[in-house]
């Protein structure tokens, strides 16, 4: 058998052989699908399998829709990065505010202690 030889074609001799071959093939039933118009971008419909699970089917998307999705995803990534930067800034501000409040609390306690000491000295002098 050579590298570039052709396979022999099977020629059916009579229409009855053709009918017999058709009867041996299993019947294929295609589900009736409600397909939308081509103007609306949609996902491929899910087809139920006999065991109740839905198989993973390919999704066909036009190039323009794919590019639009990529642009939106990239824009969302940029917005998330910006939001993360703002969160870090806000956390820094919050930390600074907490330090300032703690400083004010200590100063207030110190002032209360001094006032209490002065008050004690005044009442002892009498």
pLDDT tens-digit map of 19-71:
555 556 556 565 665 655 555 555 555 556 666 666 667 778 788 888 999 99
CA atoms within 13 A on the CB side of 50: 1
Integer Cα distance of 58 and 65 in angstroms: 16
> In the prediction, which pLDDT does 1 show?
47
Integer Cα distance of 98 and 80 in angstroms: 26
For the chain, what are the domain ranges?
64-126
Q: Pseudo-torsion of CA 34, 39, 41, 45, nearest 10°?
A: 10
> In the prediction, which pLDDT does 84 show?
93
> In the prediction, which pLDDT does 78 show?
92
> In the prediction, which pLDDT does 7 show?
55
Q: If you write DSSP's letter for every residue of 43-102 in order, what string do you get?
A: PPPP---TTS----------HHHHHHHHHHHHHHHHHHHHHHHHHHHHHHHHHHHHHHHH
For 71-121, how does the pLDDT look when each residue is reduced to its tens digit (9 = 90+)?
999 999 999 999 999 999 999 999 999 999 999 999 999 999 999 999 988
């Amino acid at each position: 058998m050579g590298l570039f030889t052709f396979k022999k074609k099977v020629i059916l001799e009579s229409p009855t052989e053709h009918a017999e071959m058709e009867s041996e093939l299993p019947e294929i039933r295609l589900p009736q699908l409600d397909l939308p118009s081509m103007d609306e971008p949609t996902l491929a419909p899910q087809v139920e399998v006999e065991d109740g699970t839905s198989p993973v089917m390919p999704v066909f998307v036009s190039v323009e829709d794919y590019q639009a999705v990529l642009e939106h995803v990239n824009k969302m990534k940029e917005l998330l990065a910006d939001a993360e930067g703002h969160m870090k800034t806000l956390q820094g501000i919050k930390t600074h505010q907490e330090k300032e409040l703690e400083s004010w609390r200590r100063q207030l306690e110190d002032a209360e202690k001094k006032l209490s000491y002065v008050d004690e000295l005044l009442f002892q002098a009498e």
